[in-house]
Amino acid sequence: MLNPPTALLATLTLTAALSAQAAPRHARSEPPPQPLGPRPELVAFADTLANDTGWDATALRDLLAQALDLPRVRQLILPAPAGAAKTWAAYRERFIDSRRIDAGLAFWAEHEAALARAESQYGVPAEIIIGILGVETFYGRITGGFKVLDALATLAFDFPAEHPRAAERQAFFRRELAEFLRLCRDNGLDPAEVRGSYAGALGLPQFMPGSWRQYAVDFDGDGRIDLFASPADAIGSVAHYLAEQGWKPAQTTHYTVQLPADPLSRRRLLAPDIRPHFSAAELLAEGATLSEAARDHDGPLAVIELQNGPHMPATVRLGTENFWAITRYNWSAYYAMAVIELGQAVRARRAPAPR
């Protein structure tokens, strides 16, 4: 996600981006992307970064000027058209199917020790880590085919003006471009060759460069952090990230709830969106029907509404602070619930541990 704190894969998922990359067979061909060139804002950015880091300004200018301006990236970063319907059932079906569950089972079996160690060290259950890595990249099978330098430079210097938060997002991507260049320098990577998502997210967990530098950990103990090729580093880094976002060990992620019939009460309860805001007592006072476990919950709760199209009732849950922590990875209740339910599905398929 691209919302503060600098997280990972935007509010758009990698899978959606990859699906969108497939152009219709008879689509009109577009001219090949052109280099950004030495535009003034690019040169100023390069000179400032070179001054801050001691790098060669001319070489940095040349590297950035040669980055390609990608029209496809500008298109993919735009939000869905207003009025586009969200359907939880369809969203869930994209991520929770037999192939992904089978892959999750195999990944868990192969990396059981690292997952157990991450849970012990950071308090994040293995199934949550499994859910995130499965939704983000299908356990490393789909990590993105865009050259990250081109993608980030496009969004840093040619961000689509029609985006409702263009100035904020462009500033974000300029920061991430600087973080990416620092990451490459620190890790001996060729910035012109690194590949990731259209938004610049990297590796198995799809960390943005700033998140990699701030939250990624060397969990396999080999002296370096490699989120591209080390599943252990990816596992530990996801757990560390969630712990830093306030994950509470042993707390559940959500409860069932029935909202009150009164429209005004429903609107008040849904207004804060995914941020935990209400106590159990406040929810009861508004007329919500809570499960026994939810009534006993100590801490704030969010009323989460997942739409199911115009003809089906919405799915409604109460999100805890741990549900909120997952949305720090990607600012979406649909995403968080898919992560949770994929992890649960994989856990349910695992054979019981021998006694």
Phi–psi pair at 51, nearest 5 degrees? -65, -40
Give CA–CA dist 190/66, Å, rounded.
14
> 3-state DSSP call for residue 302?
strand
> 3-state DSSP call for residue 219?
coil
Please compute Rg for the chain using Cα positions: 21
Give CA–CA dist 202/182, Å, rounded.
14
Residue 136 is among the residues annotated as catalytic for this protein? yes
Q: List the catalytic residue out of 30, 41, 110, 136.
A: 136
Give CA–CA dist 131/344, Å, rounded.
8
Residue with tokens 């969630």, as numbered in its chain: 242
- Cα dist. 1→4, 29, 199, 242 in Å? 8, 31, 9, 13
In sequence order, what are the residues at sequence separation of 6 or more whose Cβ sits closer than 8 angstroms to the Cβ of residue 236? 114, 117, 118, 121, 122, 217, 218, 219
Give CA–CA dist 174/171, Å, rounded.
5
Residue with tokens 């939810």, as numbered in its chain: 294
- Helix count and strand count (H, E) for the chain: 17, 8
Contact 282, 312 (CB under 8 A): no
Contact 272, 302 (CB under 8 A): yes
Give CA–CA dist 193/313, Å, rounded.
47
Buried b (16+ CB within 10 A) or exposed e, 236-250: bbbbbbbbebebeee
> 3-state DSSP call for residue 110?
helix
DSSP 351: P
Please list the active-site residues.
136
